[in-house]
Structure 1
Amino acid sequence: MGAVHGTPLLIEALVAIVALIVLIARFKINPFIVLLVVSLALAVAAGMPMEKIVKAFETGVGGTLGHIALVIGLGTMLGKMMAESGGAERIATTLIGLFGEEHVHWAMMCIAIIVGLPVFFEVGFVLLIPIAFNLAQRTGKSMVLIGVPMIAGLSIVHGLIPPHPAALLAVQAFHADIGKTIAFGLLIGIPIAIVAGPLFALSIYKHIHLNPDNAIARQFIGSRAERGVPGEATDRRAASKAGAAARDAGGDTVRVAVARDSHPYPRDLPSFGITLFTVLLPVALMLIGSWADLFTPAHSLANDIVKLLGNSVVALLVAVLVSFWTFGGARGFDREQILKFVNESLGPIAGIVLVIGAGGGFGAILRETGISQQIIDSSSSLSLSPLVLGWLVAALIRLATGSATVAMTTACGIVAPLATSATAAVRPELLVLSTGAGSLIFSHVNDAGFWLVKEYFGMTISQTFKTWSLCETIISVMGLVLTLGLASVF
């Protein structure tokens, strides 16, 4: 069979994506199996050499999981330690006290923007998801209301604002000033976060009813009373009444077998300062690592060490090791209990890791069959403003590959030469923002972030489209509109 080219190739890709959605959402087939089968079928239909198909899929899985699996594993361990010690509840309680129960969704947006500035989306997600679960449980509010502002804040700073690698590469490609890029990014990013985060969440959370039986949520909100861990103060009757009241309310908040006012933790909960220090330690290390050249000689031993500590995997590993004391030994847990918590945390994420990997494999097949290049060729011939062209190219590549980073970096290589003649009229900082905004549009089944949000939140495919995918699209479209607005002023 010869290789397929042109419009038929794009049609085959569209059919494959529709098949994925239908098989998973309508026929309830395991997402990992569906992604594998559809990827192989698409490769065969597109005329890809048979001997390369499985290898390409495996490469895509490995490329995706090489980073994300480590981040998810270490982040989940840190979250588990925070939950078991009561640290997540401490942060939740403090945020409730500062913002009030009625405004905790605004709190999540703010903390997501702060935490997300120096880290990848996946890293920020696994750091903050235990806090989101605890806020939902403590306030009795929907996880959609609490979680959507979190993912909106993380996504905005990931796509628009340096020091994220893709944004930094765009700064270099367009010869933009990094300080002005950050300033412009915050100028449009904050209003976008408000609309795509709390306001959007308020408009949809009543229509999205999540499954209350969420295994991931249970391990992050501390239901150790059911496992008989020593030193717990548990009121079974109060817990039963609380559970019954929650069921009668008919809501979709996370439920646990402990009363909201009881604290089933050994000794005292960790202080807010210790908890915040442990959670933000990897963020600080990554931020310091990105600035290593400013205070250490380039290529020196000190420079290499700082950059190593600033690597996201190493930074998370350091935080996990620190948590064994701050959330473990200092709270009265012995080594056997800490080992048990860490081992328990890995079981529920096995399925998530497989699905995310398969999504990466699907994206690799889309690239290897030439679909991404076909999109690039089609978009490059359009006569558009550099700002709109940068957004459009990044958006199309994002839809085809599922990766915001790949979309932004690839679009920069295409748009930078085309925009050279027009850069006198268009600020290069705004080209960075429009390209970044395009790279965030409509996350779907070939994006690891789609499956991360779906599995952790316990959503269906349809619910994930209505929340996460729509949130990303709001961010993308508003990003383009506000960037065009800035271009008319500056």
Structure 2
Amino acid sequence: MTEPAVILFVGIIIVAGGIIWLKLQPFLALLLGALVVAIMTPASAVEQYALSKGATVASALQQANRSAGERVALEFGNTCSKIGIIIAMAAIIGKCLLESGGAERIVRSVLRLTGLKKAPVAFIISSFFVGIPVFFDAVILLMTPLGKTISIRMGKNYLLFILAIAGGAAMANSLVPPAPGPLFLAGEMHIAMGTMMIAGIILGLFTITAGYYYAVWVNKKWPVEVRDSIDAKLEDIRSVSLQETKQLPPLWLSLLPLLIPLVFICADTALHSIHGGKTATVSSSLFVQKLAAVIKFLGDRNIALVIGALIALLILRVHKKESRAGLSAFVQGAVISAGGIILIIAAGGAFGGMLQQTGISQRIALWTKDYQMALIPMAFFITAIVRTAQGSATVALITASGILSGLTHNTDLPYHPLYLGLAIGCGSKLIPWMNDAGFWLICKMSNLTERETLRAFAPMLLVMGLAGLILIMIAAKLLPLV
């Protein structure tokens, strides 16, 4: 049986080498890497992976007997099903906000409240709190157009705004329920949900502060200018920025395409938490049942983003007096822009999925089961290794919590298991690269090159993760909560 670590190494060489040295288009390099990893992975490893995910023996055997190309295509399709619609709709929302002047109106209002110097701080805090109930990718897609607009208006700090948006959303995604990873982790390690949320928010605010100072430094060292893209032409952004405020849509109207999806998704999240993932029970009144059904429907992130896109198009139609033909061409341009991003992210998801099927996570668990390192840094580094190896922060959280949950139950810890959970959350931030769909989302939405994203975003998460680990170890010593 081929060693999973060898397969991982080959995959890294193909993808990273193909993009950085051979200058292959990322979609091709990722797809080639996924195919090679799938070919090298034995059927027995695929079957074991499927069984570990709860598949029946028959379905696991069926998956193992699929060809490498079919398995890659299935994982490619699974990633598309998760992100395809929301990326397309978010592209429409972003382009509509830029074209109608809505983004400019929001930016002017933010600047009036915070001033130019504090605008990046407002962005990183906003993305952190919005990222608690909303998926990481939705935060990036909705806030990046605002970052482009405000950096054009300031004439600098584009990289700082992109890192602020990505850093805040990334930490919320791994530390604070109801994000899927922290939600699973809290249940697996028997940490009270409220405790995990409060501690995650407190720790998250400290880590994004460290990340912000890194972002300020890297923005000065390697400044990046806003670049032209199909969905955000610099000429269009500049022309809108010259308009008088009274010519722009009102603030409340400009915020609707962003706030309505956010409200719907948050309402569904709250309903999910209250009813433990189920809709209102039979004992509830008919009105409550119908209301819960409506919230569940509208709170689906695909539906919520479609509604946001329709509202954004309506604002553009009314404010810019666009004809139907003009709107059709407009939507086509936004969708074409989104299509390239979707292909790359889906290929990244397929590559990460193939790495997971090798059994690399289980192998890491086996290597570390008897490791006698102090538990908090051990939890952090196990999670970091799993994340770096296979790309998904959520998978890393789930894997590490599965490895360490037994230790928390059977070991007389001198501190609350919460600290182990937080260490796992921080470790899941290290290290994003080409096998991570989120890496490609940030890279392509912001028009940064692969090298720039590796140089700026990956070290920022490293800084935030290590800052979190240090703070956790200090807190566990001074405030053990037992």
TM-score (norm 2): 0.86
Structure 1 unaligned regions, length at least 5 = 224-255
Give the structure 1 partner of residue 114 of structure 2. 99
The answer as to whether partners of 1:216 and 1:456 remain within 8 angstroms in 2 is no
Distance 2:39 2:71 in 1: 12
Distance 1:211 1:65 in 2: 30
CA drift of 1:46 comes to 4.7
Distance 1:276 1:364 in 2: 36
The answer as to whether partners of 2:38 and 2:72 remain within 8 angstroms in 1 is no
Give the structure 1 partner of residue 49 of structure 2. none
The answer as to whether partners of 2:100 and 2:319 remain within 8 angstroms in 1 is no
1:371 aligned residue (360, 367, 380): 360
Matches within 5 A, 1:346-365: 346-365=335-354
Give the structure 1 partner of residue 172 of structure 2. 157
1:207 aligned residue (221, 244, 247): 221
Give the partner amino acid of 2:25: N
1:288 aligns with 2:302: no
CA drift of 1:423 comes to 6.4
1:37 aligned residue (32, 38, 56): 32
Distance 2:253 2:239 in 1: 24
Range 423-432 or range 402-411, more displaced: 423-432
Give the structure 1 partner of residue 136 of structure 2. 121
SS at 1:218's partner residue? coil
Q: 1:384-427 CA distances to partner (integer Å, 9 max, x unpaired)?
A: 34433332332222112211111112222222122212365332
Distance 2:323 2:469 in 1: 53
Matches within 5 A, 1:227-376: 258=239, 260-262=241-243, 268-292=247-271, 294=274, 297-298=280-281, 300-329=289-318, 332-376=321-365
Give the partner amino acid of 2:14: A
The answer as to whether partners of 1:133 and 1:217 remain within 8 angstroms in 2 is no
CA drift of 1:372 comes to 2.5
1:437 aligns with 2:429: no
1:66 aligns with 2:55: no
Distance 1:308 1:410 in 2: 31
The answer as to whether partners of 2:231 and 2:333 remain within 8 angstroms in 1 is no
Range 331-340 or range 388-397, more displaced: 331-340
1:137 to 1:262, Cα distance in 2 relative to 1, 3 A:
same
CA drift of 1:30 comes to 0.9
Give the partner amino acid of 2:330: F
SS at 1:101's partner residue? coil
Distance 1:424 1:177 in 2: 17
CA drift of 1:288 comes to 0.8
Distance 1:176 1:436 in 2: 13
Q: 1:248-279 CA distances to partner (integer Å, 9 max, x unpaired)?
A: xxxxxxxx56384346x9x8311122222331
1:218 aligned residue (229, 232, 236): 232
SS at 1:117's partner residue? coil
Give the partner amino acid of 2:415: V
The answer as to whether partners of 1:59 and 1:364 remain within 8 angstroms in 2 is no
Give the partner amino acid of 2:20: A
1:83 aligns with 2:103: no
Distance 1:413 1:298 in 2: 31
1:13 aligns with 2:27: no
Distance 1:163 1:212 in 2: 34
2:157 aligned residue (142, 156, 170): 142
CA drift of 1:137 comes to 0.6
Distance 1:25 1:209 in 2: 20
1:28 aligns with 2:23: yes
Q: 1:109-140 CA distances to partner (integer Å, 9 max, x unpaired)?
A: 12212322211110111110110000111110
CA drift of 1:159 comes to 0.9
1:465 aligns with 2:446: no
Distance 1:58 1:259 in 2: 42
CA drift of 1:211 comes to 6.6
Range 152-161 or range 397-406, more displaced: 397-406
Range 384-393 or range 479-488, more displaced: 384-393
The answer as to whether partners of 1:85 and 1:270 remain within 8 angstroms in 2 is yes
Range 9-18 or range 158-167, more displaced: 9-18
RMSD in angstroms over aligned alpha carbons?
Answer: 2.4
Give the partner amino acid of 1:14: F
Q: 1:144-203 CA distances to partner (integer Å, 9 max, x unpaired)?
A: 021111111111111111121221111111121222212211222112111112x11211
Distance 1:19 1:390 in 2: 30
1:412 aligned residue (396, 401, 405): 401
- The percent of aligned pairs where both chains have the same amino acid is 26
Distance 1:317 1:430 in 2: 39
Give the structure 2 partner of residue 233 of structure 1. none
CA drift of 1:14 comes to 2.2
1:308 to 1:397, Cα distance in 2 relative to 1, 3 A:
farther
Give the partner amino acid of 1:258: S
Range 286-295 or range 76-85, more displaced: 286-295
Distance 1:479 1:464 in 2: 22
Q: 1:326-357 CA distances to partner (integer Å, 9 max, x unpaired)?
A: 44335533443333322211112222211111
Structure 2 unaligned regions, length at least 5 = 44-63, 283-288
The answer as to whether partners of 1:4 and 1:46 remain within 8 angstroms in 2 is yes
SS at 1:155's partner residue? helix
Number of matched residues? 449
The answer as to whether partners of 1:391 and 1:435 remain within 8 angstroms in 2 is yes
Distance 2:235 2:296 in 1: 35
Give the partner amino acid of 2:144: I
SS at 2:22's partner residue? coil
The answer as to whether partners of 1:145 and 1:201 remain within 8 angstroms in 2 is yes
The answer as to whether partners of 1:367 and 1:373 remain within 8 angstroms in 2 is no
Q: 1:429-449 CA distances to partner (integer Å, 9 max, x unpaired)?
A: 323211111111110110001
Give the partner amino acid of 1:297: A
Distance 1:213 1:391 in 2: 37
CA drift of 1:222 comes to 7.0
